[in-house]
Amino acid sequence: MIIIDEMAGNKLIQALNSLADFEGRHCIRIYPIKENIDLYSRIIISKSQEYLPGTDLYFFDDGETYLLTSMSSVKECKKAMLEIAAALKIYPAEHLGELYNLSLQTGALLMLLEKKLKFNRKEEVLAAKNQAQEQAALLAARKRNKIFDHNMRKDAAQIATQRKMRSEPILMIIEDDPFSLRLVEKVLQKQYSLTGLTSAESALSTYIDIAPDLLFLDINLPDVTGHELLEKIIALDPTAYVVILSGNADRNNVMQAMKHGAVGFVAKPFSREKLFQYIERCPTISKEKIQ
């Protein structure tokens, strides 16, 4: 007796295709067993050895078992099936499985096995895809938590004081598109001190450290949305002056950003005039600071 529990489907198909003579050969298919698999497997092995010596057993991952007999009669196979069903406490015995006469039904059995393997491969691919998605979601959740998990080293009053006491204004931009970031930097760095970030990963800690007079914030960041980050920044600094940047200038997007505390909205592609309009309106960027 040979017992196979790895790649059982492929190996059973190979065994069937390699048979030179199907006369007197049968295959018993035992329907999936989901519980007490180890106990049931031992019973199937024991009863097969007792009633169908020389039978090879193929245990599938989905709980099905196939018994490929050597020389046996239909009567002997049915007797074995009755005994296995009784030992497994499966009533009526017909619910155990089905019997294939290989001299007549090898083609049908092969078609069943091929279909089964194809379905299992799809299930494996789907399971792998779901696992990858779950892993990606878990990593994304951890990253989000890391972005928003910070130690407050300053309160709102300290941030406002730092902003008021310095002699020159500081601007900050969070923009994940390198081209857009370079464009804004090229326009503004000639006149202002500007800190640029391409992700939200260190956004909160950087904001707390530098207490910018004005923040240009991209609404479509890869790890968190600009709306979520805006809410956190306003919670940290109620007087924050935040201007949203986005290629999506629809009314709902603008209204949502304004609701969360943004003072304005600049649609891409950015214009120099629009950027400077908001800078000039910023209450903490005085004429004295600009000069």
Residue 101 within any structural domain of the chain: yes
Q: Which pLDDT score, from 0 to 100, does residue 10 have?
A: 93
Report pLDDT digits (tens) over 273-289.
Answer: 999 999 999 999 865 44
165 and 276 share one domain: yes
Residue 39: is its pLDDT beyond 60?
yes
Place of tokens 């009314």: 251
- The answer, yes or no, to whether the previous bond of 169 is cis (omega within 30 of 0) is no
Task: Name 256's Cβ contacts closer than 8 Å, sequence gap at least 6.
Answer: 227
Residue 95 within any structural domain of the chain: yes
Residue 270: is its pLDDT beyond 90?
no
**What does the DSSP 8-state code read for residue 62?**
T
Identify the domain boundary among 69, 104, 124: 124
Residues linked to residue 246 through DSSP beta bridges, in sequence order? 267
283 and 162 share one domain: yes
Average pLDDT over residues 174-197: 90
Closest CA to 226 of 170, 268, 274: 268
d(CA 163, CA 211): 6
Residue 246: is its pLDDT beyond 50?
yes
Residue 215 within any structural domain of the chain: yes
Which pLDDT band, with edges at 50, 70 and 90, does 142 fall under? Answer: confident
Residue 270 within any structural domain of the chain: yes
Residue 222: is its pLDDT beyond 90?
no
Q: Which pLDDT score, from 0 to 100, does residue 224 have?
A: 85
118 and 181 share one domain: no
Whole-number average pLDDT of the chain: 88
Residue 178 within any structural domain of the chain: yes
- The answer, yes or no, to whether the previous bond of 53 is cis (omega within 30 of 0) is no
Reported pTM: 0.56
Q: Give the CATH number of the domain where residue 82 resides.
A: 3.30.70
117 and 196 share one domain: no
d(CA 249, CA 262): 14
Q: Taking the CB of residue 108, how many other CB atoms lie within 10 A of it?
A: 10
Q: Are 275 and 246 in contact (CB under 8 A)?
A: no
Residue 208 within any structural domain of the chain: yes
Which pLDDT band, with edges at 50, 70 and 90, does 290 fall under? Answer: very low
Q: Are 103 and 22 in contact (CB under 8 A)?
A: yes
Tell me the chain's radius of gyration from C-alpha atoms.
Answer: 35
Report pLDDT digits (tens) over 69-115.
Answer: 988 899 999 999 999 999 999 999 999 999 999 999 999 999 999 99
Identify the domain boundary among 104, 124, 144: 124
d(CA 240, CA 204): 12
Residue 151 within any structural domain of the chain: no
- Domain with 21, as residue range(s), is 3-124
Q: Are 175 and 196 in contact (CB under 8 A)?
A: yes
Count of structural domains, the chain: 2
Q: Which pLDDT score, from 0 to 100, does residue 291 have?
A: 44
18 and 115 share one domain: yes
Residue 145 within any structural domain of the chain: no
Residue 144's Cα: distance from chain center in Å? Answer: 15
92 and 180 share one domain: no
105 and 214 share one domain: no
Residue 264: is its pLDDT beyond 50?
yes
CA contacts within 13 A on the Cβ side of 39 = 6
Q: Which pLDDT score, from 0 to 100, does residue 150 have?
A: 60
Q: Give the CATH number of the domain where residue 256 resides.
A: 3.40.50.2300
CA contacts within 13 A on the Cβ side of 182 = 3
Q: Are 146 and 201 in contact (CB under 8 A)?
A: yes
